[in-house]
Amino acid sequence: QVKLVESGGGVVQSGKSLRLSCEGSGFDFYSFAFHWARQAPGGGLEWVAQIRDDGSDMDYSDAVKGRFTISRDNTKNTLFLDMDSLRPEDTAVYFCVKDSSNTWSYFDYWGQGTLVIVSS
């Protein structure tokens, strides 16, 4: 079955960097687009970034554009999110989300999330 496992979360100081990873299994990783979404404590869901199946196209929310970079390694079935210049408002659970297609369609599977806490 489809499994998405995030890692890399933790406590980091404001202004520092962090890299999140998401390993997928149970499906052809290279055939699907992926997203990162986040949820601040007690808050709603917020889309962060997306990357298509071959890594040729990426988009970002205004809140993270210029600071976060989404990438993938299809040889290792792994999705990444490099987060630079972190701010306290980036504190959230970060979810790895599989798209149903090779580009932007709908989110069909979510990982359990990894918590990032940015201290001021």
Partner 1 sequence: QSVLTQPPSVSGAPGQRVTISCTGTSSNLGAGYDVHWFQQIPGTAPRLLIVSNSRRPSGVPDRFSGFKSGTSAALVITGLQAEDEADYYCQSFDTFRGSMSVFGGGTKLTVL
| Smallest separation (angstroms) from partner 1 to the CB of 14 | 24
> In a 10 Å sphere around its CB, with 0-12 CB exposed, 13-18 middle and 19+ buried, how is residue 65 labelled?
exposed
Binding pattern for the stretch 8-47 against partner 1, x by CB under 8 A and - elsewhere: ---------------------------x-x------xxxx
Q: Cα 11 to chain center, whole Å?
A: 17
Residue whose CB is less far from partner 1, 14 or 39: 39
* DSSP for 22-33, written as a single string: EEEESS-GGGS-
Q: Are 14 and 88 in contact (CB under 8 A)?
A: yes
Among 23, 59, 73, 84, interactor with partner 1 by CB under 8 A: 59
Q: Which residues of this protein are in contact with partner 1, per CB under 8 A?
A: 35, 37, 44-47, 50, 59, 61-62, 95, 100, 104, 106-113
